[in-house]
Amino acid sequence: MKTFLKDPKILIGTVLTLLIVLLAVVGPLLAPHGEYDIVGRPFTREGTFLGTDYLGQDVWSRVLYGGRSVLIIAVLATAVGVLLGIVIGVVAAYAGGWLDEILMRGNDVLLAFPQILIALLVLSAVDQPTWWMIVLIVGIAHAPRVARVSRGVALTYVNQDFITAAEAMGESRWRVVFTELGPNLAVPLLAETGLRLTYSIGMVAGIGFLGFATDPGAADWGQMTNENRLGLLVQPWGVLAPVLIIGLFTIGTNLIADGIGQRTAKGAS
Amino acid sequence: MSTAAQPIEPDEAVCTASDLRVSLRARGVDVVDGVDLVLRPGKIVGLVGESGSGKTTSGTALLGYARTGAAITGGQIIVAGHDVRSMSPGQVRRIRGIDIGYVPQDPSSALNPAIRIGAQLRELLDLHNVGTPAERADAIRTILPEVGLPNTDEFLRRYPHQLSGGQVQRVALAMVFLPRPKVLVLDEPTTGLDVTTQSMVLETLDRLCERFAVAALYVTHDLAVVATIADRVAVMYAGQLIEIGPAAEIFNRPGHPYTRALLNAIPHLHRSFALTGIPGRTPAPGARPSGCRFHDRCAFAIAECAATEPDYADVGPQHHARCIRTGELPAWDPRARAVADTDPQRERDLVLTVQDLNVYYGPAHVVHDVGFDLARREIVALVGESGSGKTTISRCVAGLHDQWDGEVDLGGEELVRSARRRTPEQRKRIQYIFQNPYGSLNPRRTVEQILLRPLELFGVAHGRAARERAAQLLDAVQLGEGALSLRTNRLSGGERQRVAIARALAAEPDILVCDEITSALDVSIQGSITELLNRIKNERSISMLFVTHDLALVRSIADRVLVLQHGRLVEGGLAADVLDRPEQTYTQDLLAHTPTLEHTLE
């Protein structure tokens, strides 16, 4: 872990990510105004330094309130997607044969759909989307991509002699997967997890922007960009503030993922 | 260091390197220093050393090349009248391939599978603008018969895949000699080739170097190959030339303790030798000891060896060794290490019988009706060229491959095909050691974790007892207890293979199946592993199935030998009988093509 933080890429990424997570977590405590308080006329420089939004609510306060839901949903969705994907990918790689074929061809079919399309299809079919729906949709949309990567990573190990040696000794298949294969996959898949987190944030915010928020009135970085886009020319901060924060966060997680990926490619873990 | 120690006749030498130094730029550490080499037309100098000795670095330095991160930082390199170090990269590039050629490991890999033979040969001449197009075509037609290939249009139009393996090697050799280089650097060109192909390549190289008066440097770790091809031999250790002399001199009167230790690690075909390794590790650049670099591993070292860096001392005519005690060393007699062959009258208590073994890979039938047996405290070698089925048979015995039929009987119990379906007791009794210790140990686990698992799984020991047992096992394979907490990536190849052997021993098996377990290792490590296996066999009454392609090694390790060709058993019997009095022509061929030191011995 310490060697990771010596890499400037990973260090900068970690600092950015932590700063924004901190902002989202303690934000509501620091906010000068309430989440729904009307502090002035809409789209003006009234309120704190970022001005007001389409209803006259304080943009800075809503930015501070609006991170939690996005981040929590994104993190949970990433966890669901990565876990599901790794299980599918590693099982396919280790089992091989027909099971590998079935899993991977099914995977290819899912890969053919754009992620956001699946999300819209499901969300437009329900009256009111709940947070766990978004978690599941985004997570499941990630799974086939993670499955492909983890199968690839696992394939480089499944035919190595140390796996054969464990099998020849009569180790159970699960033990082979968890104690022999697993530790070797951890670092490369950590990089993939970081990348998926980046996409999750984008997707969750995008779903908010498209109007499928779980609570239409609540502050939410994605939803804010939608609400305030009409005033983009008069009061750009209503859109720019959440966009910048999402941008910085994705850059942060991406830098971490990229840094870890490069280090594993070099074999320096 | 001093050129006086090595007389140079400038009119004769076509390539000289003096006081050559190659350093790692970032750390300012020398990889190679003070190397003097003289190459003369038509003569081959063998540059021998173990991994990390700097032999390849010295070889490529003659082409003005140092690998990324390294640079040639001192000395003078003269190639065919060019002072390589004072030339610009562009100028050096122009003499490469024309004046000085480089032949990598497995030269045939240099052929592009998508280009016809004729076009590939022409490419090099076109690139360097050698002669007129007619002359180029002519040069190609003259070189092909020299390497034993037809020079017809039909042949030139073929693609590499339309040639046999031997022919591909010949084409690659033709490419090397086509521009008529004056100097050649051959970097282990036959490593990984089968003995018959290797023997063809060596024979052709030898003939063409003499025919075209090429001065060659043959870089290799294999002393037996050097004994076959080289006129002079230079031995490298830890970045220095430690001994140089005529081949016959080096093999009969080695003047440096390191050369002697290397020779002690090399098996002979017609005499069983007790092989020994060299204690310790080859020091890495930057960690090399002061004084004589070999003093900390040397059996003859005295206090002064650590203090003074020895200069070349004369051992014989044209023969120098960097050792202050070279005159005091006892007379060299390789025969002193000879041990008795297996007693043919010995009683055999069979532990494993294999009958009518047929093995398949999908539709391919790769092993046909093979049968053999293995007795307690006996080592049976399976030998053959690649594709002979020797590894396949060993995998079937261990249950790692399950497409076979026939009968494998372990102490009265018939074994089922796959290890997973065998009883734990049967799995415990047969342990498999893999060829490549870099792949057979999990890089994410410590040595202790690796050793504890079989102890627990087979119920040999648990908890504290198991940890004590793991330490004992490490001791049995001559590794310190300190290695327990290390991950395997901190260990050298030889140390890893010892851990793999310890893991196999942890199960307290009756049979060890060893699949080419020394072929990825240096000769001195091969020597010490062989020593270790012989000791394990005697101390623990273990039997071994020893797969190898090295017939000479068979003589030193195995009691009995089985020769395989294309999945069929050609010949089998006591090692001494088969190697000294082969009955089948295939065995005779193999033996004739196996490089060996014996013919150099006086």
Q: Answer with the residue of higher pLDDT: B586 or B521.
A: B586
- Give the per-residue pLDDT at B514: 92
pLDDT in tens, B464-491: 888 998 998 888 888 878 888 888 888 8
Q: Tell me the chain A residues in contact with residue B458 when contact means C-beta distances shorter than 8 Å.
A: 169
In the three-class reduction of DSSP (H, G, I as helix; E, B as strand; rest coil), residue A203 is classed as helix
Residues of A with CB under 8 A from a CB of B: 160-162, 164-171, 179-180, 183-184
Q: Does residue B37 surpass a pLDDT of 80?
A: yes
Nearest chain A residue (CA) to B397 = A168
Angstrom CA distances, A94 to A82, A152, A241, stand at: 18, 11, 46
Cβ–Cβ under 8 Å, residues B246 and B318:
yes
Full strand arrangement of the beta sheet holding B543-548: B430-433, B511-515, B543-548, B379-383, B560-565, B568-574
* Dihedral, CA of residue B374, residue B375, residue B376 and residue B380, to nearest 10: -50
Interface with chain B: mutation pick from A3, A162, A167, highest number of B CBs within 10 Å: A162
Name the pTM for this structure: 0.81
Q: Does residue A121 surpass a pLDDT of 60?
A: yes
The answer to whether A184 contacts B444, with C-beta atoms less than 8 Å apart, is yes
Among A212-226, B109-123, B520-534, B576-590, the range scoring the smallest mean pLDDT is A212-226
- Give the per-residue pLDDT at B419: 86
pLDDT in tens, B207-216: 999 999 999 9
Q: What is the mean pLDDT of chain B?
A: 88
Average pLDDT in the A43-50 region? 82
pLDDT in tens, B537-563: 888 889 999 999 889 899 989 999 999
Q: Does residue A178 surpass a pLDDT of 90?
A: no
pLDDT in tens, B130-156: 778 888 888 888 889 988 888 888 999
The answer to whether B440 contacts A161, with C-beta atoms less than 8 Å apart, is yes
- d(CA A64, CA B72) in angstroms, rounded, equals 60
- d(CA B506, CA B146) in angstroms, rounded, equals 55
Q: Tell me the chain B residues in contact with residue A184 when contact means C-beta distances shorter than 8 Å.
A: 442-444
Average pLDDT in the A88-100 region? 90
In the three-class reduction of DSSP (H, G, I as helix; E, B as strand; rest coil), residue B101 is classed as strand
Nearest chain A residue (CA) to B458 = A169
Residues forming beta bridges with residue B564, ordered by sequence position: B569
Q: Does residue B2 surpass a pLDDT of 50?
A: no
Residue B52 pLDDT level (bands cut at 50, 70, 90): confident
**What is the β-pairing status of strands B543-548 and B100-103?**
unpaired
Least Cα separation, residue B361 to chain A (angstroms):
15
Q: Does residue B582 surpass a pLDDT of 60?
A: yes
Q: Tell me the chain B residues in contact with residue A165 when contact means C-beta distances shorter than 8 Å.
A: 432, 434, 440, 503
Average pLDDT in the A138-145 region? 90
pLDDT in tens, A21-30: 998 888 888 8
Q: Which of B313, B409, B306, B433 lies closest to B357, judged by CA? A: B409
In the three-class reduction of DSSP (H, G, I as helix; E, B as strand; rest coil), residue B175 is classed as helix
- Give the per-residue pLDDT at B197: 87
- Give the per-residue pLDDT at B236: 93
Q: Does residue A116 surpass a pLDDT of 60?
A: yes
Residues of B with CB under 8 A from a CB of A: 398-400, 419-420, 422, 424, 427, 432, 434, 436, 439-445, 453-454, 457-458, 503, 507
Nearest to B424 among A161, A170, A179 (CB): A170
Least Cα separation, residue A17 to chain B (angstroms):
29
pLDDT in tens, B491-505: 888 889 989 999 999
Average pLDDT in the A141-152 region? 92
- Give the per-residue pLDDT at B130: 75
- d(CA B218, CA B202) in angstroms, rounded, equals 10
Residue A268 pLDDT level (bands cut at 50, 70, 90): very low
Q: Answer with the residue of higher pLDDT: A159 or B335.
A: A159
The tokens of B317 are what?
């005519």
Interface with chain B: mutation pick from A169, A173, A178, highest number of B CBs within 10 Å: A169
* Other CB atoms within 10 A of residue B359 CB: 22
Q: Tell me the chain A residues in contact with residue B427 when contact means C-beta distances shorter than 8 Å.
A: 168-170
pLDDT in tens, B397-409: 999 988 999 999 9
Residue A266: Cβ-neighbour burial (10 angstroms; 0-12, 13-18, 19+): exposed
The answer to whether B445 contacts A183, with C-beta atoms less than 8 Å apart, is yes
Give percent of chain B with pLDDT exceeding 90: 32
- Give the per-residue pLDDT at A6: 79
Q: Which of B170, B206, B165 lies closest to B186, judged by CA? A: B206
Nearest chain A residue (CA) to B441 = A162
Least Cα separation, residue A176 to chain B (angstroms):
11
**What is the β-pairing status of strands B100-103 and B183-187?**
parallel
Nearest chain B residue (CA) to A168 = B419
Q: Answer with the residue of higher pLDDT: B562 or B342.
A: B562
The answer to whether B457 contacts A170, with C-beta atoms less than 8 Å apart, is yes
Which residues, 6 or more positions from B516, have their beta carbon under 8 angstroms from its beta carbon?
B391, B435, B547, B548, B549
Average pLDDT in the A117-132 region? 84
Q: Does residue B383 surpass a pLDDT of 90?
A: yes
Q: Does residue B452 surpass a pLDDT of 70?
A: yes
Residue A144 pLDDT level (bands cut at 50, 70, 90): very high
Interface with chain A: mutation pick from B442, B460, B490, highest number of A CBs within 10 Å: B442
3-state secondary structure B332-359: CCHHHHECCCCCCCCCCCEEEEEEEEEE
Residue A269 pLDDT level (bands cut at 50, 70, 90): very low
Nearest chain A residue (CA) to B449 = A179
Residue B3 pLDDT level (bands cut at 50, 70, 90): very low
CA A72 to chain centre: 9
- d(CA B8, CA B39) in angstroms, rounded, equals 10
- Give the per-residue pLDDT at B544: 93
Chain A with chain B: Cβ pairs closer than 8 A: 49
Q: Does residue B237 surpass a pLDDT of 80?
A: yes
Residue B587 pLDDT level (bands cut at 50, 70, 90): very high
Start-end of H helices in B47-86: 55-61
Q: Tell me the chain A residues in contact with residue B444 when contact means C-beta distances shorter than 8 Å.
A: 183-184
ipTM: 0.78
Nearest to A162 among B424, B427, B440 (CB): B440
- Give the per-residue pLDDT at B11: 52
